Chain A
Amino acid sequence: MASPLDSVTPLEESEVADIVRSANAGGTTLRIVGHGSKSALGRNAPQERLLTTRRLNGVSLYEPQELVLTARAGTPLRDIIDLLDENGQQFAFEPIDYATLLGDSPRDDTLGGAISVNASGPRRIRAGAARDHVLGIRCVTGRGDIVKSGGRVMKNVTGYDLSKLLTGAFGTLAILTEITMKVLPKPETERTVLATGLGERESLALLRGASATPYEVSGLAVSFVEGHPTAALRLDGPEISVAHRSEDLIQSLRSTGAHFEKLDESRSRAHWIRLRDAAPVAEIEGQVWRLSVAPSDGFSVVDSLRGAGAPILAHFYDWAGGLIWLCLDGALDAHAVSIRAAVNRVGGHATLIRASEDVRGVVEVFHPQPETLARLTRSVKESFDPAHILERGRMRTEF
């Protein structure tokens, strides 16, 4: 971590640009943080200077009727969520709070941070990822240029969609300064149907069955209660609709032989906050991986890892089986080779989320890419940050 002497806390976008230009001229590498809640994510790659966006703070536009909100990158996410809540709205992608995993105080993240890691939660299967809700971005590239992309309207195909590229880029392409988001009405209520009594594989099949019904399920996960698989199926919307749909859903899944139970609104919320924040793996000491595969491949990936003797301490599935959270007994190589081999057999990617600095210094945290893609990725990086000064090494050893 850089010492306070090396840190800068700009107040304005133009100041950010000045700082980057001078860093560019001197070849000084920059770490970009909001509140620093995700400093332990990504490769361990110390930088020479720390740029904090926390004073780029404030909502500059919020028009509930237009479903649009613009805020500066350093605005606390909690403040924005509270503001939306007062107006009966929300970010539909249900941003994950990494605090439980990384040991920080709850929801101490900024909008810029959440967008920089494309922080999507369980509702991603229905409402899309964070990237699907970004309408426009202002940023300072690694060259020190102030660049805007997108706009504040829902439907826009003017020019390349750079906002998608910047979302999830961990600050390696540009420093986000202002973000315009699509916001949506908050469902009137929610309820969760729990299905128990089935094996792990059967529980996952039940999720996929539910995803092929028209009941608009907005969360599909399998976690474990005292070792027993528990499938959770969330329904949200107006009370009258949720009541009907949850009954219809249970009826349609009767033939699975599962035992069904309903969670009321408050228990449902608590259940999904735990899953959103990966609590079932976060609470166990060990290294944590996040795997993204096709839903029908989820079980076989975990099963093959078990077969290969990977020391899995805890795991659960979200996204109908397509998102796997694993907690493993710590190892210097974080079991990267076997995990990636299991994922590569079916297609997808695996990211090391929690491990010591040492481990994150030697293991590729992000999934390795085939050669053509790696070359293109590097060219794209250099089109924004030719001197590799932004978060050098945070995502890739080579940049």
Chain B
Amino acid sequence: MALRMPAPEQAILSRRNVLIERLRTALPESNVISDETGRRAYDCDALTMYRTLPLVVVLPETVEQVQAIMAIAEDMSVKVVPRGSGTSLSGGSLPLEDGILLGMSKFNRILEIDFENRCARVQPGVQNLAISKAVESRGFYYAPDPSSQIACSIGGNVAENAGGVHCLKYGLTTNNILGLELVLMGGERLRLGGKHLDSELYDLMGVITGSEGLLGVITEVTVRILQKPMIARGLLLGFPTVDAGARCVGAIIARGIVPGGLEMMDNATIRAVEAFQPCGYPLDAGAVVIVELDGAAAEVDHLVKEVEAIAQAEGATTTKISQSEEERLRFWAGRKNAFPAVSCIGPDYLCMDGTIPRARLPEVLTRMDELAKARGLRVANVFHAGDGNLHPLILYDASKEGDIERAEQLGADILRLCVAVGGVLTGEHGVGVEKRDLMGEMFNETDLDQQQRLKCAFDPQHRLNPGKVFPTLHRCAELGMMHVVGGKTPFPDLPRF
């Protein structure tokens, strides 16, 4: 696939040997991977349609080594692409031909579990699910649960501000972390927050979360852990149409109920899921809604009845209530299998990630159907209905000439549609390279310039993960980061870049 990335800098490529030599002085020899076979393993993340062989791969084991790498990179003006587990769906850790690929996989230790303060200090390479596993003996868990949680790393979760199916009630990564340690371009080490709540002065932790590896390399995360709800029960609801399902979701929330999980699937997904591994979804339904209610037993039982009544009033044709933990998990099984199931009918699919105001869903789905028909493709829809996060899965066949391009064009059409109805380009997957060139749909030049000025405050030479998020790179000086009033630079004591 043709993807416009910053042109490789000849000056860097020609000094590759010097760079490798210097990296080998900073790291154990085996942690600097320079041969092609070794580097090949890192040539893409989960957006596999784009691949680039990195200049060199480094796998540091200590923060000091990360600092040394970042100092060498700055000194030699080499680009750096940070990578956690490589599960980004938007190409956030797509390597650069003239860049160091900085893999954080060896930072895999849980440093401290502090039940009393309800937090855990972990290294960035620790897998999301491993945190919950480490604290479950005392009834705790870590709330954000992206679908890749058995593989994705907490450092990557912070970089992408990962979500999951429980966001409406429990928030995204940004709402569940207390502290960060990071290394800036050049090698300086910085700690933000800690075990206390709310950082003072500017909320740098808030802006670094979701910055897609463009502001710093995360070397430690302090996460909040929560007590598991006493019980959770699920409802599996079938509706004749997506409209009816959407109305039910709106009615539940209007009643003042905030479910732990609230998911919807359209008929195309229901059929794919049932063909993949039957789990009792009604095949004739236009939409299936899964509602999970959690909390104290008495409250959950009470809310289950309320939701059941709402569903019936909204014309539900199927209403099943989980009577056991096993049954609750079975309701979820279909949803969790949705992506692999759809890939069986695809045979390939492109997963989009827009968020829309929930009330616009019926209209968006109708419009999406028209757009798909116009491109000669089909779309299956999986929807985090509670928070409006839509995952249209565009089905295509990579072996067919032009199908990939059509799928990509349809993806762009759909995201434009999301923005047009008041939504956004990405709810949880990140902009990366995938949605980079669509940023102009949501932000004007002034908005994007301000975001890039912030980038300049962290990384004035644009060496950290360039080519991601922003459609065009402006030099910091062009953005007026050198401010001159009446011919005089204010605050002449300040070092300027």
Contacts and interface: CB of A to CB of B under 8 A. Distances in A.
Interface residues of B, number: 100
Nearest to A129: B198
B250 interface: yes
A240 interface: yes
B447 A149 contact: yes
B160 A155 contact: no
A214 B202 contact: no
Interface stretch (A4-12, A331-339, A382-390): A382-390
A128 to B, nearest CB: 5
A43 B133 CA distance: 46
A65 interface: yes
B275 interface: no
B313 interface: no
A372 B299 CA distance: 49
Contact of B446 (A65, A145, A240, A387): A145
A244 B230 CA distance: 12
Interface string B350-364: 000001111100000
Interface string B23-50: 0000000000000000000000000000
Interface string A313-355: 0000001001100000000000000000000000111010000
B389 A184 contact: no
A169 to B, nearest CB: 6
Nearest to A350: B200
B204 interface: yes
B302 A165 contact: no
Interface string A150-175: 01111111111110110111000100
Contacts of B197: 124-125, 129, 292, 319, 322-323
Interface stretch (B122-130, B236-244, B400-408, B451-459): B451-459
B210 A145 contact: no
A106 interface: no
Given A157-B427, A348-B194, A377 B200 contact: no
A311 interface: no
A377 B201 contact: yes
B196 A157 contact: no
Interface string B200-218: 1111101101110000000
A188 B298 CA distance: 15
Interface stretch (B2-10, B102-110, B161-169): B161-169
A27 B485 CA distance: 8
A154 B480 contact: no
Interface stretch (A45-53, A266-274, A293-301, A302-310): A293-301
Contact of A372 (B188, B295, B449, B491): B188
Given A154-B388, A292-B196, A387-B485, A167 B480 contact: no
B296 A244 contact: yes
Interface stretch (A205-213, A222-230, A275-283): A205-213
A48 B388 CA distance: 45
Interface string A229-254: 00000000110110111001000000
A248 to B, nearest CB: 8
Contacts of A237: 295-296, 299
B118 interface: yes
Interface residues of A, number: 95
B72 interface: no
B325 to A, nearest CB: 16
Contact of B168 (A154, A157, A215): A154
A145 B191 CA distance: 31
Interface string B420-460: 00111111111100010001001100111111011111100
B207 A161 contact: yes
Contacts of B253: 65-67, 185
Nearest to A399: B491
A216 B359 contact: no
Given A164-B206, A212-B118, A152 B422 contact: yes
B294 to A, nearest CB: 10
A23 to B, nearest CB: 11
B492 to A, nearest CB: 13
A106 B457 CA distance: 40
B278 interface: no
Contacts of B160: 157
Interface stretch (B57-65, B77-85, B170-178, B374-382): B170-178
Contact of B200 (A25, A248, A367): A367
A375 to B, nearest CB: 9
A154 B191 CA distance: 28
Given A65-B359, A241-B296, A376 B190 contact: yes
A305 to B, nearest CB: 17
A129 B178 CA distance: 12
Contacts of B384: 155
Interface in B450-497: 450-451, 453-458, 469, 480-481, 483, 485, 490-491, 494
Given A153-B357, A214-B227, A372-B190, A351 B200 contact: yes
B427 A155 contact: yes
A294 B227 CA distance: 18
Given A168-B203, A376-B458, A147 B450 contact: yes
Contacts of B427: 153, 155-157
Interface stretch (B254-262, B326-334, B335-343): B254-262
A88 interface: yes
B475 to A, nearest CB: 14
Contacts of A80: none
A383 B452 CA distance: 9
B167 A155 contact: yes
A207 to B, nearest CB: 11
Interface core residue of A63, A296, A383 (most chain B CB under 10 Å): A383
B203 A160 contact: no
A66 B385 CA distance: 11
A135 to B, nearest CB: 10
A143 interface: yes
A157 B454 contact: no
Given A67-B253, A379-B457, A386 B196 contact: no
Nearest to A136: B424
A69 to B, nearest CB: 13
A131 B202 CA distance: 11
Interface in B75-104: none
The 7 closest A-B pairs by CB, nearest first: A164-B206, A241-B299, A386-B483, A185-B256, A294-B195, A379-B457, A154-B387
23 contacts: A65-B359, A66-B357, A66-B388, A128-B171, A131-B198, A132-B174, A152-B422, A153-B389, A154-B355, A155-B172, A157-B172, A157-B427, A157-B430, A158-B439, A160-B207, A184-B258, A241-B296, A296-B117, A319-B197, A349-B199, A372-B189, A380-B202, A384-B450
